[in-house]
Amino acid sequence: MAPPAKTSKRHAAKTTKKAPTVKKTRPNVGGRPRDAKMVYYFGKTKAEATSDMKQLVGGKGANLSEMTSIGLPVPPGFTITTETCAKYYEGGKRLPHGLMNEVHQNMSLVAKEMGREFGSKDNPLLVSVRSGAAVSMPGMMDTILNLGLNDEAVEGLANVTGNRRFAYDAYRRLINMFGDVVMGVGHEVFEKAFDKIKIKYEAKTDNDVPEHGIVELAEAYKTVYRKAVGDEFPQNPSKQLELAIEAVFKSWNADRAISYRRLSGITGLTGTAVNIQAMVYGNMGDDSGTGVAFTRNPSTGENKFYGEFLINAQGEDVVAGIRTPQPVEEMPKWNAKVHDQLLKIKGTLEAHYTEMQDIEFTIERNKLFMLQTRTGKRTGAAAVRIACDMVREKLISEEDALLRIPAADLIQLLLPSFDEKSKPKNSVLTRGLPASPGAAVGKPAFTAEEAVERSHNEAVILVRKETSPEDVDGMHSAVGILTSTGGMTSHAAVVARGWGKCCVAGAGEVHIDAKKGTFTVGGKTFKRTDTISIDGSTGEVMSGAIPTVEPKLSGDFAKIMRWADKYRTLLVRTNADTPEDSRRAREFGAQGIGLCRTEHMFFEGERILAMREMILAETKEAREAALDKLLPFQRDDFIGIFTAMKGLPVTIRLLDPPLHEFLPHEPATIKEVAKVLGVPAKKVEQRVAQLHELNPMLGHRGCRLAVTYPEILVMQVRAIVEAMINCQHNKIKAMPEIMIPLVGVAKELGMLRKLVEQTIHDVRAENDIKSALNIKIGTMIEVPRAAITADQVAEHADFFSFGTNDLTQMTFGYSRDDSATFLPEYVGQEILPADPFQQLDEGGVGELVKMAIEKGRDANDLLKIGVCGEHGGDPSSVHFCHAAGLDYVSCSPFRVPIARLAAAQAALMHDR
């Protein structure tokens, strides 16, 4: 996708990032020498980075620096650039020469600002080391806290804070995290040691363990470390720092990070930045705490400060979902001053960024520190509401509002929700937190692996105590996620919202026995075979499959759509084959049908029989007799669709798939069909075998059928024209457009067009219609050769419609049915930026599209051009279509609103 060219406000581009897409060119990086500055400082002395330098210093680093600049309380620190990470990999996983020098210079600055000294046994400077790529990847990258502690410094920390328990707790956390993240020692071995201590001191929670227990624990952790690593925990703080930086770099290519990038479609990044920042402590006692919050509700969009905090805890405790935190509304009871301060910061941040922010903060002994701000992930519904609210609040313009709603996220507003009216009594088992909206119905799966495996055959809901980054594959496979612990900002909640997947979090009454494969709630036990329903908008967990209802376009959503229609120039049509779909698409704003497939119409009841009779016929006459039976069905189908579309254009594609798709393939069905048709089973078998193709995708289909069996085309055209005339008699306007598929040679279209025109003429004559019927005749451009020879094809066409599905298959030589064996690897290894069947391949398929448009319009300047592949509902592809100068896109009914918004965004970004 082309980068946003011009936007009316400074931050518009940033906030319309369409989550996964990242610019390849780094705006502030281009031309930088490879041995340039590797470290950027932020603190009172200076704040070197700004928020538009995310590509270089990562999102977290950029915003820490930016917050520092606008005067918010941020502990000082510095950022190692993403380029340094790239250099690390280029150099065969070695820290670039000179890096540690720069690091130490910046450490000195931090030490000076903090009045502490790194590695000092008196007043030691402790730091956190965190990853931070240009695109936020929640929980994906590793973090180390309290770095700088050793056997001596811990005593210094105890002295200077006057809190020995705290100092040793910090030390044991460092050993644990360092062991886990840097040395790969399993977290569980540390947990085991902790459990022993807790038993010894009869402590229920971590906080119940007394000071000497914690001191003992630190010693126990060192033993665990020594046993697992085969070496002592490093006592040299500089060595700790160096190893930690390297561990962050390494985590960039950890399986789970690669997996997250693949699932989220994130490509084009060079690596992660590393943020090193002076530690502040939320776990210094009951006057300390930590929290995460959104400046508005990320689930509904309501303009209300929204978050959670934990008293006497470090930040990781909130995100990990281990302890269930309190909502920020409760904070005034604990510390009203800090709460006021946070509300003020909310205002400052929103005014500065003109966007809803997701923040992390820590209160150290009643003093507030900001540790992170970033644009907050939100649901589609929240995106719509926030955008509309901010226009009302005069924070942003209408154009900005349109630009910052990820068009694809609208799908969430179009998903069905549970029907309150038909919800059975007593079906609600319990209520958790409404972590991510949606209505999911499925059977419970208790591990991520199980969810992946079973999801191929059935809808599963992943039921877990909590989720962790290792679970992302399973979370992605499930239709919904249910956790028994964790809050609205837990891993499960954040990831689910990011994907627009239904999630109920922290449903504490749900007791899970993962080993047995059951969960119990309110005395009822549910197995893998039981169906449950979860409502991510209410937090309800229900037994059975609750019926759903369709969404409506209303309120803010309708407003966004009206604004979109004001700015877009691209028309949006729909792909619909039934009156029902046609009606729904019109409600969603479709301006016509761009693709009405006729083959689906041949599968029901008597029709499939007549169809099979036609295929089995051995003479043209017998074929025509069978087609005569199909004619009334087809005609009625078209009458239904024309009526539903109320005069909007309806592009009807003539029969496309190979004939064998209509024949039975199982011996039993073959016998049955033979019996009904009164022919020997042998004959049906022979015909099935005869029609078998090695590569049906490249076989006898599309207009090739019309060339060899023109009578099929004649029947279909007759049905269309008769339906049109029938509608006219009933004062219903019908505007059919006849589309001939799979044309590769101009003469094919020329010949078939003549036949269509002749048939129209014949039906007109039979019905004594004097006036001309306005029926456009065109073709799909889906064979590369048609694009290459579009000038010749255009001479016979009133319109082109790009069938980008098949065009992608043939341009790449990928069979959509078979490419799953290698395409994920292609995307994972970044050979391709995205699955070309989801996102139009601009470099290849797009070139053909542009070539065809140019040649086609040169030859025929009245040519109307659209797209009717599934790409018509993909926002980045819609941008391409707009830029390429198409007249319309056509997509499935539920994607019509997405296409409308994407078309507006394209117009705003490309044409201003």
| Residue 667 beta carbon to a second copy: minimum distance, rounded to whole angstroms | 17
Exactly one of 704, 764, 776, 857 binds a second copy (CB under 8 A); that residue is 704
698 binds a second copy (CB under 8 A): yes
Running DSSP on this structure, what letter comes out for residue 441? E
654 binds a second copy (CB under 8 A): no
**Choice among 339, 491, 796, 879 that is catalytic:** 491
Query: Closest CB to a second copy among 638 and 814?
Result: 814
Running DSSP on this structure, what letter comes out for residue 254? S
Name which of 780, 539, 554 is nearest 656 in CA terms. Answer: 780
Query: Closest CB to a second copy among 367 and 747?
Result: 747
Exactly one of 358, 748, 835, 874 binds a second copy (CB under 8 A); that residue is 748
Structure token pair of residue 828: 């994972």
Cβ neighbours for 376, distance < 8 A, ≥ 6 positions apart = 294, 295, 296, 298, 355, 356, 357, 358
Find the part of the chain contacting a second copy (CB under 8 A) among 8-16, 224-232, 605-613, 704-712: 704-712
Query: Closest CB to a second copy among 682 and 692?
Result: 692
Exactly one of 426, 457, 529, 708 binds a second copy (CB under 8 A); that residue is 708
Are 187 and 140 in contact by the 8 Å Cβ rule? The answer is no
| Residue 452 beta carbon to a second copy: minimum distance, rounded to whole angstroms | 17
| Cα 333 to Cα 311: distance, rounded to the nearest angstrom | 12
Active site residue 910: no
| Residue 826 beta carbon to a second copy: minimum distance, rounded to whole angstroms | 7
285 binds a second copy (CB under 8 A): no
| Residue 749 beta carbon to a second copy: minimum distance, rounded to whole angstroms | 10
Exactly one of 129, 266, 510, 810 binds a second copy (CB under 8 A); that residue is 810
Are 806 and 787 in contact by the 8 Å Cβ rule? The answer is no
695 binds a second copy (CB under 8 A): yes
Number of Cβ within a 10 Å radius of residue 28? 14
744 binds a second copy (CB under 8 A): yes
699 binds a second copy (CB under 8 A): yes
Exactly one of 36, 622, 689, 831 binds a second copy (CB under 8 A); that residue is 831
| Residue 250 beta carbon to a second copy: minimum distance, rounded to whole angstroms | 22
The β-bridge partners of 77 are 42, 277
| Cα 849 to Cα 801: distance, rounded to the nearest angstrom | 10
CA 434 remoteness from chain centre: 19
Q: Are strands 143-147 and 127-132 parallel, antiparallel or unpaired?
A: antiparallel
**Choice among 85, 596, 703, 868 that is catalytic:** 868
| Residue 75 beta carbon to a second copy: minimum distance, rounded to whole angstroms | 42
Q: How far is CA 247 from CA 85, 131, 892, in A?
A: 11, 10, 46
| Residue 806 beta carbon to a second copy: minimum distance, rounded to whole angstroms | 7
Q: How far is CA 132 from CA 116, 473, 903, in A?
A: 25, 22, 32
Query: Closest CB to a second copy among 343 and 707?
Result: 707
Q: Write each residue from 765 to 784 as x if it is in contact with a second copy (CB under 8 A), else as -, in one continuous string.
A: -----------------xxx
Exactly one of 268, 517, 547, 844 binds a second copy (CB under 8 A); that residue is 844
Q: What's the first-to-final CA gap in the chain, in angstroms?
A: 16
Active site residue 868: yes
| Cα 658 to Cα 164: distance, rounded to the nearest angstrom | 78
Exactly one of 593, 614, 780, 848 binds a second copy (CB under 8 A); that residue is 848
Q: Total residues at the site for a second copy (CB under 8 A)?
A: 49
Cβ neighbours for 908, distance < 8 A, ≥ 6 positions apart = 7, 399, 402, 403, 567
- Buried-exposed string 804-840: b where 16+ CB fall within 10 A, e elsewhere: bebbbbbbbebebeebeeebeebbeeeebbbbbbebb
Query: Closest CB to a second copy among 670 and 832?
Result: 832
Burial class (CB in 10 A: 0-12, 13-18, 19+), 910: middle
| Residue 780 beta carbon to a second copy: minimum distance, rounded to whole angstroms | 11
712 binds a second copy (CB under 8 A): no
Question: Which positions are catalytic?
Answer: 491, 868
Q: Which residues bind a second copy (CB under 8 A)?
A: 693-700, 704, 707-708, 742, 744-745, 747-748, 751, 782-785, 788-789, 792, 806, 809-815, 817-819, 821-822, 825-826, 829-832, 841, 843-845, 847-848
